[in-house]
Structure 1
Amino acid sequence: MLIIPAENAVNWKRPPLVTLGLMLACLLVFLFYQGGDSRKIEQAVEQYLSQDLQELEAPVYEDYLQRQIQFRGEEERVYDLQEFQQLREENAEFWVAISLMMDREFYHYLLENRDIHWAPAERAYWLEHRTAIEQEFISQLSAQQLGLVPADLKPYTLITYQFLHGGWGHIIGNLLFLFLLGFTVEKALGPGRFLMAYLLCGAISGLVFTAFSSGSPLPLVGASGSISGLMGMYVAIYGLQKIRFFFFLGVYFNYFRAPALAMLPVWLGKEIYDYWFAGATGVAYMAHAGGLVAGAGLVWLFGRSWLHVREEFFEPEESEQDARFTTSYAQAMASLGRMEFDLARRQFEALRQHYPDRPILLKHLYQLAKLRPDLPEYRDRTRELMEDALSRRQPEQMVEVWEEYLGKGEHHQPLAAEDHNRVLFTSLKQQNFKAAEKAFERLRATGDELLTSEACRLLVSEFEKRQMEPKARHYRQLLT
């Protein structure tokens, strides 16, 4: 059974860059760093078989498996024993060698019990050649170099093991879940804190695995502990809020809604149950459990400080925002239709607070303010609309708004010298000399001598460039 949260959709306008970067890092490590492992293993097998080490180890391995079954109750090893015996009967020497060399617990068993199984000459021969293979090939494998080995824990491997994987199925599955969970948690925490929390969950997951596998020589690799941390963070962020979950059971799949935190004990209980009863599946169940607890714990402990959720995370998605805008906009337009102008003004102002990037709202507020050209609000809305038109690279609209204000509101609430100066510069860029000269006259009337003289020099320069000498001479005379 598979249950994963599926509350959000990806916003590709703001892509989850850290999540995608982590996925790319795992893939590059797998392809270009771990890609050399197969060649090392082939060389190790070649040397192992050439020295007939399988003749020494194979009988001991069968005895070792039988002891595991009889005295340690590891019934799942019955299948390992049967498979190994079948490989020997079929003379599948390559896979026999792989089974013997890659069982790290068996290798350590041989080191501790070689005096029991072999005569002195055989022991010396085995130790010399097997040690050479270990040092030259096996110890150079990626899992041995950067994987997390509980029997030989190195601090840096708490991070590096998160970027290694055991095969294509392993990495594809992990990358899929990393994406499905990562983009939501990254959106909630922000890129920097998300990366720190992700790596920290992986490190804690590795420590939990080490605690439950103390002394084991088997290396842990994979991002599943970190991804379990994302699952814990995901549900802790939403708390008791009901969210959508996707589940897959056999061939049936569907969605259901439930309080987010309700799934944490379900996931945790499943990992602990599998740890005790699923047998030797090769899955690091306690690493998963440690990641879940770490992720949820970090949000609970630091959710009000460095790991707080960004406010915009809980804002509705664009589709929902559009639906809300459409409803509220229709209500404001209905107020306009009933000529309830004060109510309509309040409704448009409220809409603009929530949707400041929608220019249509400013235009409506401008038209409402124009009903009373004697009030300062009309001048203020005019300035806003002029600035908005300029920011949207619509100079013609800016000049139109300015000219309209000159006819309706200038004699009530005059514009400032800076407003006319901005229109002058914009008009000259558009080669609208008529509007530029008109703006100069308005600027001159404000009495701002500094801006007036600078504007006059600019007009002289522009007219001289275009060989319009009468105009240039006129403005030179104004300067003197």
Structure 2
Amino acid sequence: MLVLPAEKRFDWKYPPVMLFSIIALNILVFFLYQSSDDDRLDLALTHYEHSGLLRMEWSAYQNYLRSVDEEPYLRELQDQFANQYTAEIIYAIVLDDDFIHYLDEHGKQLTFNLYDESDNWDNWRRQRDLLDKRIESLSYFAWGLIPKDLDPITLLSHQFLHGDFMHLLGNMVFLIICGFAVEAAIGAWFFLALYLASGIAGGLFFALLDLSSKTPLVGASGAISGVMAMYLAIFRLRKIDFFYWIFIFAGYFRAPALLLLPFYIGKEVVAFVSEEDSNVAFMAHAGGFVCGGLLILIAHYKKPELINTEYVEQDQDLDPKQLSLAKAYQLLDEMKFAAALKQVHQQITDYGLNFELAYLRYHLAKVLNNKHLAVFFAELMSLRSYSSSELIKLAKAWQDNPELHAQLPEKLAIKLALNFAVDEYRQLAEEIFERLHDQNTQNSAMGILARKLSVVFSNPSEKSKQQRYAYIADQLITGAV
């Protein structure tokens, strides 16, 4: 479920200089600094593998897993160790902070070579210290917010780090959606101050839940939650437009702005309680919401001149493209499927085809058993999927329509299989390849697809598949088949 304020459109009369500066800094940090994390981690893992630490610590790590009731995981690792597949074992040990504390108390469980005088406690400690330095050089340990080692610098620095590219992209999109209006309403420097304050508050909320935790917090989510709350607090009880997206239903509604703030905060608290295993820092979001909203409300009453009332009170009509799409979703909500399909057709005619419209058109045609379903299905499959959510929809549409598979042109089927040739959907890619291969499809892209399948089937248990697809790829690419 997604609910976002949508009262204001971008206006170059109020250029968001600070917003763009913050976004640029986040992007630069990610690509110029954090992009080296993989290399740093590889160095740490390589050091562990070649220093003899696994031999010294493997017995102790098994005892540690038993002590924390991780017997199923232990058996899985033991099977891998027996088959000399140690990559996952090394990864698990190197990044397990709790195991380090366990070793401090149970050092006698380490295993040393009695026939090698240099293989002793001092050698282990020296190798471990070198490993720790490499791990501490990773961005999220060096500059992330670690509750146990809370300090003012990481309260700021963690706001400019991200776990991966999708984390960065998602945060920056939400920041743009809400940030330009907030900066226009309160000015660049006040926006920066409140943005950082919200991030600090989010970090403190996260840390205070468990001050003994060594799990690092990274991301601008707390600060961005604060920006969303600022947006609502700026308009207070004035009715503004909101965009909503719930499953396949989406559209716009109007409501007093501040009434949505308890909803946002409550949603994060409920998620925190109900999704214990999630990696999302829900309480950092809640802390950001509380801080951002509260600071703007204080400014309203203590220094109202800080808020650009002319901009806030300026009415703006919704983008015609948004209105057209909202009408289609409204008709869908009202179960008027034929009218909704007609509206989607008009939207495509007026503004062009994209994934959202193609999927919506296919979905409506399937519900209506429309005679053009096969055409709409093919056009949906022909679009490149850029996000994981789109790929999920694409895969479901493919699985739901086996009767349409054979109608897909060979070139399009290969393109689709290349999209599916990732870990989650490799079985779908394999099915398409095998069908085309059985038909003796003569297309140079089949070799590329076979090569990609040989990469995704790379687990030791799938060695035969990996070898088969590698062989087929070699044959197809060299033109022997």
Same fold (TM over 0.5): yes
Contact between 1:4 and 1:246, CA under 8 Å: does it hold in 2?
yes
Q: How does 1:256-275 map to 2 (within 5 A)?
A: 256-275=253-272
TM-score by length of 2: 0.59
Show structure 2 runs of 5+ residues with no match: 113-118, 319-481
Secondary structure, counterpart of 1:299 in structure 2: helix
Secondary structure, counterpart of 1:106 in structure 2: helix
Tell me what 2:283 maps to.
286
Q: How does 1:69-468 map to 2 (within 5 A)?
A: 70=69, 88=81, 91-111=84-104, 113-115=105-107, 117-118=109-110, 123-135=121-133, 137-306=134-303, 308-317=306-315
1: CA distance, partners of 2:75 / 2:173: 35
Residue 61 (structure 1) shift: 4.1
Q: How does 1:12-51 map to 2 (within 5 A)?
A: 12-51=12-51
C-alpha distance after superposition, 1:261-314 (max 9, x if no partner): 222222212211222220222111111111111111111223234573212222
Contact between 1:114 and 1:123, CA under 8 Å: does it hold in 2?
no
Worse-superposed segment, 93-102 or 118-127: 118-127
Contact between 1:271 and 1:285, CA under 8 Å: does it hold in 2?
yes
Tell me what 2:377 maps to.
none
Contact between 2:59 and 2:109, CA under 8 Å: does it hold in 1?
no
Contact between 1:105 and 1:218, CA under 8 Å: does it hold in 2?
no
2: CA distance, partners of 1:279 / 1:216: 15
Contact between 1:147 and 1:220, CA under 8 Å: does it hold in 2?
yes
Identity of aligned residues (%): 36
Residue 103 (structure 1) shift: 2.7
Please tell me the residue identity of whatever aligns with 1:190: G
Please tell me the residue identity of whatever aligns with 1:198: Y
Residues 263, 47 of structure 1: CA spacing in aligned structure 2 closer, same or farther, 3 A cutoff? same
Worse-superposed segment, 309-318 or 38-47: 309-318
Supply the RMSD in Å over aligned alpha carbons.
2.6
Residues 270, 66 of structure 1: CA spacing in aligned structure 2 closer, same or farther, 3 A cutoff? farther
Please tell me the residue identity of whatever aligns with 1:118: L
Residues 252, 164 of structure 1: CA spacing in aligned structure 2 closer, same or farther, 3 A cutoff? same
Residue 315 (structure 1) shift: 3.6
1: CA distance, partners of 2:268 / 2:77: 29
Please tell me the residue identity of whatever aligns with 2:282: Y
C-alpha distance after superposition, 1:418-464 (max 9, x if no partner): xxxxxxxxxxxxxxxxxxxxxxxxxxxxxxxxxxxxxxxxxxxxxxx
Residues 185, 59 of structure 1: CA spacing in aligned structure 2 closer, same or farther, 3 A cutoff? farther
Residue 206 (structure 1) shift: 1.1
Residues 14, 79 of structure 1: CA spacing in aligned structure 2 closer, same or farther, 3 A cutoff? farther
Residues 224, 86 of structure 1: CA spacing in aligned structure 2 closer, same or farther, 3 A cutoff? farther
C-alpha distance after superposition, 1:63-93 (max 9, x if no partner): 544544x5xxxxxx79966875676576543
2: CA distance, partners of 1:183 / 1:108: 46
2: CA distance, partners of 1:79 / 1:289: 35
Residue 152 (structure 1) shift: 0.9
Contact between 1:205 and 1:291, CA under 8 Å: does it hold in 2?
yes
1: CA distance, partners of 2:76 / 2:172: 31
C-alpha distance after superposition, 1:147-199 (max 9, x if no partner): 11111112111111110111111111111111111111111111110011001
**Residue 54 (str. 1) matches residue 54 (str. 2):** yes
1: CA distance, partners of 2:16 / 2:80: 47
Contact between 1:159 and 1:199, CA under 8 Å: does it hold in 2?
yes
Show structure 1 runs of 5+ residues with no match: 71-76, 321-480
Contact between 2:55 and 2:111, CA under 8 Å: does it hold in 1?
no
Residues 99, 187 of structure 1: CA spacing in aligned structure 2 closer, same or farther, 3 A cutoff? same
2: CA distance, partners of 1:253 / 1:117: 58
Residue 11 (structure 1) shift: 0.9
Residues 310, 82 of structure 1: CA spacing in aligned structure 2 closer, same or farther, 3 A cutoff? farther
